[in-house]
Chains A and B, each alone.
Chain A
């Protein structure tokens, strides 16, 4: 079963992580975490995102609205995601718990909805 883990953390956590000195330990923890998922054979893909540079696009009644992040309504910023393939939701939650981000922010676990095969 596939799940997407999304990593949400407060802005100050990203500031620490991006600092070469203060961020050394957390960034090593993230590397070790990703290595562990690769080692366990569950990781299908992962990326970091430019969490401060998100842009929102909305179209309402034919009118477009473009807005720069960070967005005031969310305290925690989306800093990355991983796609994993595990046997059960229980196992997905276990990987979410191990995520270094879970200790300072929140890791969300999203079951991937299976897509029907395209008709030939």
Chain B
């Protein structure tokens, strides 16, 4: 790759979201800002090899994009009212402006997770606008028809423009709910990588989500839930190296493989968040992960404390995932696998018939209870619902073990 292409690449990676957020904020039109910015990148790739890379590539790109937006707006206004022509500045007069750009990415995140936008699209919109991922890649990550994903994103952006969604920070009365939507969408983007088998791509997507979580936490240091989400992602990331080679459940992982710096960073963030005395789902999730992590390091998992954290989490957010995790924690805390199984069976069957974590949890508790044939069946079902190859390999091992235990004399 030549210097100009590399500089354009670097600008794209480093500043795409920053530039787009600012343009979208100024123009209140995400799609138009995206078009203008991609034109600007195309122009850069053509001009820079010839004229040299400008001193401030970002400012150059921004100026070029603004010029395109102005031209488009002028064309529109000319069509509406030709008399306005004189009011518009000559686009060639615009000079690169090197003043630091106010960071509008947080505003853009709030718009992407606006209540007027389908919640199922919040993560996808963030990945596309703030991080510049293309629709085809987003479609693969979400396992959606590429054509359908493109259409949904286009519609969402039209809605942002046509409904005039505000790029200002939400009002205090709607703040907690709006922030929760932003954090949920970032977490949604992070959890996407669990379904992917390609290590590099998976790691990259997780990295992008972590970048967003850190961005929000750094811009809103007084928000305990923003800290909670960052802490949660750091704890998950800290254990990634251990997962990379072969899947192992937490209690079989070697803490020596974990990233101690990230764990310390997460614990510090959790402590800071706790000072606000406003626990929320992400702080609780992170606290559960922290307890598991510390328990593994100390050699004794504090199941009773973990169960209490799960109970508090259920009071705030009784999701299927939270109910499953609670059932497993309770089974270990008592210890009584049947008590956990009763909680699992209380979840509506149609919600879990094709839900891998439910079958894996059920299999684990059945094995704990010594019900090997039933455990083997449940592991088989979990296996059929799993795509990730390392997780499949581990479930297959468990299935074989339960099949062996179920055989007479086994």
Contact = CB atoms under 8 A, between A and B. Distances in A.
Contacts of B334: none
Interface string B164-179: 0000000000000000
Given A32-B380, A32-B381, A32-B383, A39 B144 contact: no
B385 interface: yes
A93 B384 contact: no
Given A36-B354, A40-B353, A40-B354, A29 B384 contact: yes
B381 A36 contact: yes
Contacts of A35: 380-381, 384
Contacts of B396: 25
Contacts of B380: 28, 32, 35
Contacts of A41: 353
A29 B162 CA distance: 49
A46 to B, nearest CB: 14
Interface residues of B, number: 15
A22 interface: no
B143 A33 contact: no
Contacts of B381: 32, 35-36, 39
Contacts of A90: 143-144
A97 B195 CA distance: 10
A60 interface: no
A41 B143 CA distance: 21
Contacts of B316: none
Contact of B143 (A29, A36, A94): A94
B387 interface: yes
Interface residues of A: mostly helix, strand, loop or mixed? helix
A98 interface: yes
Interface residues of A, number: 18
B385 A93 contact: no
A60 B351 CA distance: 52
A28 B392 CA distance: 13
B148 interface: yes
Contacts of A94: 143, 354
Contacts of A98: 384-387
A29 B399 CA distance: 12
Nearest to B389: A103
A67 B381 CA distance: 41
B347 to A, nearest CB: 15
Interface string B367-410: 00000000000001101111101000000100000000000000
B145 interface: yes
Contacts of A39: 353-354, 381
A41 B389 CA distance: 25
Given A29-B383, A40-B353, A89-B145, 15 more contacts: A25-B396, A28-B380, A29-B384, A32-B380, A32-B381, A32-B384, A35-B380, A35-B381, A36-B354, A42-B354, A90-B144, A93-B144, A93-B145, A97-B387, A98-B385
Interface of A: 25, 28-29, 32-33, 35-36, 39-42, 89-90, 93-94, 97-98, 103
29 contacts: A25-B396, A28-B380, A29-B384, A32-B380, A32-B381, A32-B384, A33-B384, A35-B380, A35-B381, A35-B384, A36-B354, A36-B381, A36-B384, A36-B385, A39-B353, A39-B354, A39-B381, A40-B353, A41-B353, A42-B354, A90-B143, A90-B144, A93-B143, A93-B145, A94-B143, A94-B354, A97-B387, A98-B385, A103-B389
